[in-house]
Amino acid sequence: MQRMQDIQGVNEPDRMNGRPRGVTHGAMTNRRSWRAMYEMGCLEDGADAVRPVQHVKGGVAYVSGGVGQDEVDAMRSVAAGYNVHLMFVEQGGAYVSDVNTHIRSANGSVSLAVVSEGPLLYVRLPHGKYQISASYNGVVRQGTLTVPPHGAVMRTMTWPR
């Protein structure tokens, strides 16, 4: 019975400090309390809640996403693990997704063929030269990429509205 009263009492404001009864300044700074709330599903860790799923095709790792600010933040949080960063937009800057993307090595073999799940596509490739072909709404964009031994190469591919 006492437990039920405690739970009900939390919703009633305390006349002295205006906070819910039983909640004092710093009451949730205890690590175990935060962890328990997280495990019960009361709290979410933004980046972890939508962490992009890494896929591997033909030995090439990639992540794709970026629909909504939470996904953009999550993609940015894993960007350092990938050395090719592609962004797909329409003229004017609107993001696009479902871009049919092919990356070929210098010898012409396909390194990756994928349809983007969002406007951001991050890929991990061996350093070297690559051809990229990306199609959106029937319009194809092509270009070359030189992946450095260290660091990353970034490309924005733009389509008409």
Three-state secondary structure call for residue 45: coil
* CATH 2.60.40.10 location in the chain: 47-159
Task: Give the model's pLDDT for residue 140.
Answer: 98
Q: Which residues of the chain have pLDDT under 70?
A: 1-50
47-159 maps to CATH 2.40.50.140: no
Task: Give the model's pLDDT for residue 51.
Answer: 83
Q: Which of 119, 134, 41 is nearest to 76 (CA)?
A: 119
Task: Give the model's pLDDT for residue 49.
Answer: 53
Answer whether 85's CB lies under 8 Å from 120's CB. Answer: yes
Residues sharing a CB contact under 8 Å with residue 36, sequence separation 6 or more, in sequence order:
none
The pair of three-digit structure tokens given for residue 57, joined into one six-digit string: 């095709």
Q: Which of 118, 119, 127, 133 is nearest to 152 (CA)?
A: 127
**Triad 151, 59, 120: Cα angle to 5°:** 55
The tens digit of pLDDT for each residue in 86-123 reads 999 999 999 999 999 999 999 988 999 999 999 999 99
Separation between Cα atoms, residue 39 and residue 83, nearest integer Å: 34
Task: Give the model's pLDDT for residue 32.
Answer: 41
